[in-house]
Amino acid sequence: MNRKIVLLAAAALATSILGVAAPAFAASHARDTFIKEQDLNGDGSVSKEEFKAGREKQFAGIDANHDGALSHDEYVGEFTARLTKRLAASTDTPEKREEERMRQLRQAEVRFGVLDTDKSGGITPAEFEYSGWRMFVTHDTNKDGAVSAADPVAEETN
């Protein structure tokens, strides 16, 4: 990545972070998606143990060459495969789907840069875990150690 792309990526990330704070429905949607994806035993709540187990499995699934780090190609490649599947099931027009594809891939590039905290060109388990816990803590607004529908989304507590 050259410097200009990095700067553009940073600007895009700032925009997306600010965007998250916008409407309340978007925040509760993010929480519900989190629960849907991470609730392994289906009780409607994501415990710390459940989340940790899920993230470890996810890491192992992305680490295609099993060297204990997620390279750029592994990370973006895994995301692209899932994205392609999701878009194939979409009912949007081909133009809209392509637009969404480009947008999502740009975000994946940005995410890789953010996750790779020490800029070594690979995401270590510690880096992956750190970003995961930040996400968990953001959603566990009542701080009871689990993410569930009982966690008020930030906007609703104002």
Site string for Ca ion, 96-135 (x = CB under 5 A): ----------------------------------------
Please report which helix (H) or strand (E) contains residue 122, including its range.
strand 122-123
Q: For residue 69, which of 127, 155, 17 has the smallest C-alpha distance?
A: 127
Taking the complex as a whole, the smallest distance from the CB of residue 132 to Ca ion amounts, in Å, to: 16
Give the burial string for 84-101 (b: 16+ CB within 10 Å, else e).
eeebeeeeeeeeebeeeb
Q: Does 37 bind Ca ion (CB under 5 A)?
A: no
Q: Does 142 bind Ca ion (CB under 5 A)?
A: yes
Pick from 15, 17, 18, 41 the residue near Ca ion by CB under 5 A: 41
Whether the CB-CB separation of 128 and 140 falls below 8 Å is answered with no
Q: Residues interacting with Ca ion, by CB under 5 A?
A: 39, 41, 43, 45, 50, 63, 65, 67, 140, 142, 144, 146, 151
